Amino acid sequence: MKIKDSVVVITGGAKGLGKSLAKSFSSRGAHVVICDKNTDELDLTSKELGVTGISADVTNEAELSEVLKKVILQFGYVDIWVNNAGVWMPPVALEDVDMEKAKKLFEINVFGTIHGIRTASRQMKLQKSGTIVNIISTTAFDGMSGSSGSMYVASKYALRGLTSVVREEVKVNNIK
């Protein structure tokens, strides 16, 4: 995969893994756009790394569409879209799970990724190329129920299945 001069969008890019990915892509010559709903961290990280920062909440597909519009206006295309935004909740027995927190976790981890895939794939179909990366977690492969909690594991298993199906759907348009 060619990185130099590629346009890379990273959701949840203001801290943690997203920030590390932004730093790595940027150091390899990519044009990096990070989006995050935390505007303070977004501003700090974009200045620190010298990348473009755009405020967006992945649970709002319209906001991700606005990110894409700005990216297309600035660069004309997008090569790589990384669905990185995600949250975790402390593990508890299923009967003790705070269902409001669980719903929020699914809204961010699962539906936020779905919104990102939909947004990126629409543009990449027009371009007839692109790569969508979904950050899943090793828990999607081995469960690790004791350390990750049932709701987090369930959200990551959902992403694993989603990614497998979408991979087949989009490959006809040269999207990886």
- Residues carrying an active site annotation: 152, 156
Structural tokens at position 148: 């990750």
3-class secondary structure, 104: helix
Give the separation between CA 25 and CA 8, rounded to whole angstroms.
Answer: 8
DSSP 38-91: -HHHHHHHHHHHT-EEEE--TT-HHHHHHHHHHHHHHHS--SEEEE--------
State how far the alpha carbon of 159 is from the alpha carbons of 91, 103, 126, 155, in Å: 19, 15, 25, 6
